[in-house]
Each structure stands twice: as structure tokens, then as C-alpha cells.
Structure 1
Amino acid sequence: MARISVAASLPDFPWDSLTAAKNTAQAHPDGIVNLSVGTPVDPVAEIIRDALASVSAEPGYPTTIGTVELRTAAVDALGRRYGVTGIGTDAVLPAIGTKEMIAWLPTLLGLGAGDLVVIPELAYPTYEVGALLAGARITRADGLNRLGPENAALVFVNSPSNPSGKVLPIEHLRKVVAWARERDAVVVSDECYLGLTWDAEAVSILDPRVCDGDHTNLLAVHSLSKTSNLASYRAGFVTGDPSLVKDLLEVRKHAGMIVPLPVQAAMTAALSDDEHEKMQRERYRARRIELKAAIERAGFTVEHSEAGLYLWVTRGEPCRTTVDWFAERGILTAPGEFYGPSGSQHVRIALTATDERIHAAAERLAP
């Protein structure tokens, strides 16, 4: 029997297409300022590193569901930081980074050929990849009523948005929940950037103002990569509808999708300490202020960007032209087309660089 290539069904990895622009940026006399990816550059807090080391001598297998301490810390943090109530520790499941969870959720939830997955018009590429891995169909739609009578099995929402930093208001999220419940669809809310708001209030899909305290068919995915600088740890979790979380747990136990115990201990510490998170948020706030002002002085428009780790930038030209313009100044950005056709005249510029590199970028953009 001929081997079926899963990779052949997937789109090309977007960042592989930036090689030429990256080479141009690297040739700058003062070196490249890489603002094309959202990877943390700041130190991991000592309290987190100490927790990681505290169980490094433990030889046994960790549990897929995670320690009680981790799940309790997650429940408490959701309430303390985001006003989410009504979550039990049985409704929290750690993930090996939220990209992994998002990529496999359609498969883990049993979706397949014929099922429809709705993703935002501007979307993190992994939403589409997850649907394709499950063999499902996708459609891009922010206004769900435009889908007409067609039913969906799963709806991804992302607020604050990657790439645009747009924040969905409570009333919009309420409409998404109502639309999905009429069709018995699952709503998965990617809340990776919920703790990084600047000019608007971002709320969880599990906020009682959104769902009236009813978490049925709702899942929220949370990451510690951005707010706690734990991208290298692969630390995240999913929470919401206890029955859906239980189903995910059962499949993941069979598949061996287990977060290492030291990482679980580190997550517990990160979720229990708000001080390091506040410090990191203020670092990003300062970088955003400097970089946004420099970009606007250079003649660009920053759209949305009320929250998150990116500036969504345009001057009304093809995005690859803008990428090349920045690359000539030693700055690497991500073309908006990575995130969907409606991003064809934008670039995404990350705040995840050191203060020195952000300042260098700002100086290069001076008229």
C-alpha cells in the first residue's frame, strides 16, 4: 500500500519564505533586529527556575492530568487575573505548549472529513493546520451569521488577536457563544495574550459576562510562554467544559501526551506569582510605546494592536514590499499574508526583542 504523506496535505511553513528578507536584514552594519516571531527574550523568574529544579530528581512518570497543585494554581490564577469563576480542578488539563494543543484539538475531539472548522479571517496558522490534520474543512469568518444555515463542529476565536492585537468586545463573544450553541458546536478560545492588554479590556470566553457561567462546549487555551517567558518549557493548559476536558484527558493518556513533572512544578510557581507577570507586562508596554511611535513617525499606520505582543502595520502596499523596506533597514517583520488573505497589505511586528534591539529599530526608522 502506498504511504500517505500527512505533510503533503499541509501548507508550506510560512517562515521558510523569509530567507531572502532575513539575509538582507542580517547584512545591516549593526546587525539584524528580528521582530518576525513572538519568542521571549527576557529572563525566566528565579521563583520559576527554583520550582523547576525542585523536582528534577524525581524519576517516576508524571500524570497526564497534572498535579493537584498545578490545577489549583490555574483555577486560582484564572479567577484572580481574569475574573473567571466556576472552574473546578477537574476541568484543567496541562498541555505541552498551546501550539500542540491547538494543532491536535480537532483530532482529539473526534472531528474528521465533512466537519467544518471556523477560524478567524486573520488567524494564527495553526488553527488551519489543526483542522487539516483532522481531515476537516475550514472557513474563515469573523461574522458567523454570514455562514448562513451551514453548521460548524468547532469555532476558533482569538482575542487578543494574533496577528492584529484586536480585542473582541463582550457582546461579540456572547454572539459567538449563542451562535455555536444553536448548532451544538464547540468554541475554542485561544487566550494566549489575555494578560497583555494596553488600550482595551480583553475577557475570557469563560467570563460570566460572556457565557453566563455556563461552560458547556466552551474551551479556553492558556499559555505561559508570553506572560512568564516559558516558551522553552512548553507550558500551557486547556480549561472549560469538564466533559470535554475529560474526553481530552482520556485520549491524551493513551497517546502519552504528558507535561514533564519539572515543567508542571514551574507552571505552578508561575501561576501562583503575579509579580513577575506584572514586571514582564511593563517591559512590553515600554517597548510598545517606543516602537509604535517610531513606526508612526516613519509614515506607517498601526491598526488595532490594542493588546498582545504585536503591532499590525500598513501603508497600503503589498505586504512583501513592506517586509523588504524594513529588511533594508535591518529589521525583519512577518508579512500579513501569513495569517490570511485579508492581511495582504499589513506586516506583523513583534515586541519580543531586548530593550537595546527595540531602541536600535526605532533609531533606524527615524526620518
Structure 2
Amino acid sequence: MPELAAHVRDVPVNQIREITEAAWRTPGAIVLSIGEPGFAVPRHILEAGMACLDRDETNYTPNAGIPALRQAFAARFGEHNATPVGAERVYVVDGAQQGLHFAMSLLLSPGDEILIPNPGYPTFAMTSSLLHAVPVRYPLYPEHDFQPRIADIEGLITPRTKVLILNSPSNPLGAVLGEELTRSLVALAVRHDLWIISDECYEAFTYDVPHVSPARFDSDVPGEARVFTSLTLSKTYGLTGLRIGALICPPGLEQRMNNVMEAIVSCVASPSQYAALAALTGPQDYVSHAHAHYRANRDAASAVLESRGIPFLTAQGAFYLWADVSHVSGGDVRSWVRRFLADSGVSFAPGTAFGSIGEGWIRIALCGSQADLVEGLGRLPVRLS
């Protein structure tokens, strides 16, 4: 048979899925390797999606989504970020991953370079490579609390650099970018005439610090604005299977966005859009309950890690803890998590799933039951020194 394209053959295995699927095949495993919210979706959200099907409202929608949902996303973004956004700049997408692909499709030509965090979410590199672009990883070092440094990023910029990806709150780190650093990162992009794609999947979940969107510091003048903001309801409302989110674009790109959206998915399924509308405009009890649960789990997990002498990054956002297991991983944390699952029945995402700086680290998902979380972490080997 003919060969697949080289850029497809070179896409690496997603190590998060690799260990999680192994855990799903392991009877009685405690799965702490994947970020899947565990609460029941509120009834009013489910009923809105079912009502759409009952009405047989199953035809195409506009490329950009139903107007009411675009307005709801714009209203929520403006309220939470003190940054007014017109609904005409909001494009309803088939989950955050499709939103990232959408943005990169608009911005990257073959051979262009895109700056992505190391450690950072794996699909940043996977998606850009599929588009024939070149992912260039900027370092987030433990000694700097895994925060980006302007000089480190600036030193990687070349004439081929087109896009800077930011992710706050961070998956996998739980780190949050502060206001001054965010402002400086936008200024860096302006100096070097770069686009910014801001992945804000976990914007609803920060602890004692605010979420700061780079869009707050972007120009509102067409031709000068440069920030694309990727949002999702997967984490905020536990709608991972409905595949629904939004991409907010700079002003003046509306027609281009329609053209590209048509070529990728045409439009998002109607039931998912109406369910999302109910989520955004209805009661917000789910979000406040989830926030309290994740925070309590973060604190409980932190206490277990401290009791076992295991260093970790204090999570300021998202629902993950980033922990240092280099005392047992032997320089190959990917192999170690597989052995640990086999021996102890607990799965963690290996830090190398997120980049080379993740060697010796694991990502711990905080979104399940606290009892399972504490039990699983209690099986980690004690660090003696």
C-alpha cells in the first residue's frame, strides 16, 4: 500500500493516553493520569441538548455557531476578564483542540516556527507538526517555578518565528501567569510581530490568584491586534464528550475565519451548542462546586506529598499537581510510570509527555475522588533525603 505522509508518520505517541489506556485495562486501578471531571452534568444542560433533538433542530448552523451562544461566550469572557469582546469575534468550535488547530491553520505556513512551552501540553507540538510548521520549545525551569522568562523566549526567536503559545492556568503545571508577566509577554510579541495563541482551558479554576488573559493587553485596532484566545466548556462544566468551546479572534478576521471553519468542520453539532448555551446562561452551581472540590483535593494531595518528602509545584490553577519523583524514576519516568502501574495499581502521566524538562516529574490529576487520590499518592515511595 502507499505510504502515509512523513509528517503523520512522525507524530509521537501521546504518553498521557498510553498510560491511561493501560490503567483502564488494569482491574481496580486508581487512574490519576487523565484530566476527566467526575461530576454528573447538571440536568438543565442535558435537557437543553435533548430538547434540540426533540425539535429536530439538526440542520447546519452558521459556521461561527448560533448567535445566542456566541453572545453568551462573549458576555462570559468580558465579565471574567474585564475585556469587552464583540460576539462577532467569537467562533464556536468542536472543543479546545479543534480551536487550537483552527488558530494554527490560520497563522502557520509550512516551515514557520511556533514557540511552545516545555513542559507544555503535547498537542501544541503535535498539531503544529501536522500543519508542516516547526515547534520550538521555550523552557520553563524548576528553579524559576516553571514560569517563562522573557530572555529565554527572545533568544529563540528567528525570522521564521510566527506564533507564541501561552497556557495559563497551565496543563500540566498548575502554574498561573501573573499580570505583569502576561503584559510583558504580549509586549514581546508586539516587538517581534508575533501572533499569540492563548490556551485558557482552565480559566475558571484558579486559587488565591486571578486569571489574567493576554487579551487584556491586546490592541483593539484591526491589523494591530494579535491574540487568539482558546476556550472550552470541557473542564469548566465537565462537557468533555460534547466537544464544545470557542476561539476568540482579533478584530477584522471574521470572513477569513468563516472560510477556514468551513474547510475544517463546517459547524459544530446543534445539540452541543444548545447544551453549551444552557451551561453558560443557567445556574453556575457546578462550577463553584467543582472549584471547591479541586481546591480541597489539591490541599489533600499536597499534604500527602509533603508527608512523603516528595517535592512538588504548588498549583495556583487548573486541577493538576506537578511532582518530582526523580528519586525513584531512574532518569526514565515514562518507563517508571508503567512499572508503578503494574506494581501498585496507580497511574500518573509521565512528565516527558509534556517535554524534555518533564523528565523525573509526574502530573497528578486532582479531579476524581479525594479518597482515591489520597490512597494512590500514599503508594508513592518515600523520599528519604
Could you say which residue in structure 2 is the equivalent of 1:348? 363
Could you say which residue in structure 2 is the equivalent of 1:111? 108
Shift of 1:365: 5.6
- What are the Cα deviations for residues 54-82 of structure 1, in whole angstroms up to 9, with x where unaligned? 21121322222111110111111112233
Does the CA contact (< 8 Å) of 1:235 and 1:267 recur in 2?
A: yes
Given the superposition, is the C-alpha separation of residues 293 and 304 from structure 1 closer, same or farther in structure 2, using an over 3 Å criterion? closer
Given the superposition, is the C-alpha separation of residues 246 and 352 from structure 1 closer, same or farther in structure 2, using an over 3 Å criterion? farther
Moved more, 287-296 or 357-366: 357-366
Shift of 1:9: 2.8
Within 2, Cα distance between the matches of 1:75 and 1:238? 10
Could you say which residue in structure 2 is the equivalent of 1:283? 293
Could you say which residue in structure 2 is the equivalent of 1:211? 218
Does the CA contact (< 8 Å) of 1:160 and 1:166 recur in 2?
A: yes
Could you say which residue in structure 2 is the equivalent of 1:329? 344
Q: Please, what TM-score do these two structures have when normalized by structure 1?
A: 0.89
Could you say which residue in structure 1 is the equivalent of 2:310? 300
Letter in 1 for 2:250: D
Within 2, Cα distance between the matches of 1:60 and 1:264? 12
- Secondary structure in 1 aligned to 2:161? coil
Shift of 1:18: 2.7
- Secondary structure in 2 aligned to 1:313? strand
Shift of 1:131: 1.1
Shift of 1:352: 2.2
Aligned pairs for 1:64-103 (under 5 A) are 64-85=63-84, 87-103=85-101
The counterpart of 2:32, out of the listed 17, 31, 35, is 35
Moved more, 39-48 or 142-151: 142-151
Letter in 1 for 2:26: Q
- Secondary structure in 2 aligned to 1:26? coil
Q: Is 1:153–2:146 an aligned residue pair?
A: no
User: Where do 5+ consecutive residues of structure 2 fail to align?
Assistant: 139-147
Does the CA contact (< 8 Å) of 2:168 and 2:202 recur in 1?
A: yes
Given the superposition, is the C-alpha separation of residues 20 and 114 from structure 1 closer, same or farther in structure 2, using an over 3 Å criterion? closer
Within 2, Cα distance between the matches of 1:311 and 1:332? 14
The counterpart of 2:249, out of the listed 240, 243, 261, is 240
Given the superposition, is the C-alpha separation of residues 44 and 240 from structure 1 closer, same or farther in structure 2, using an over 3 Å criterion? same
Within 2, Cα distance between the matches of 1:42 and 1:247? 38
Shift of 1:255: 3.6
Given the superposition, is the C-alpha separation of residues 32 and 58 from structure 1 closer, same or farther in structure 2, using an over 3 Å criterion? same
- Secondary structure in 2 aligned to 1:73? helix
Q: Is 1:258–2:301 an aligned residue pair?
A: no
Given the superposition, is the C-alpha separation of residues 242 and 327 from structure 1 closer, same or farther in structure 2, using an over 3 Å criterion? farther
User: Where do 5+ consecutive residues of structure 1 fail to align?
Assistant: none
Within 2, Cα distance between the matches of 1:191 and 1:170? 15
Q: Please, what TM-score do these two structures have when normalized by structure 2?
A: 0.85
Post-superposition, which runs of at least 4 consecutive aligned residues in structure 1 deviate over 6 A? Answer: none
Could you say which residue in structure 1 is the equivalent of 2:322? 312
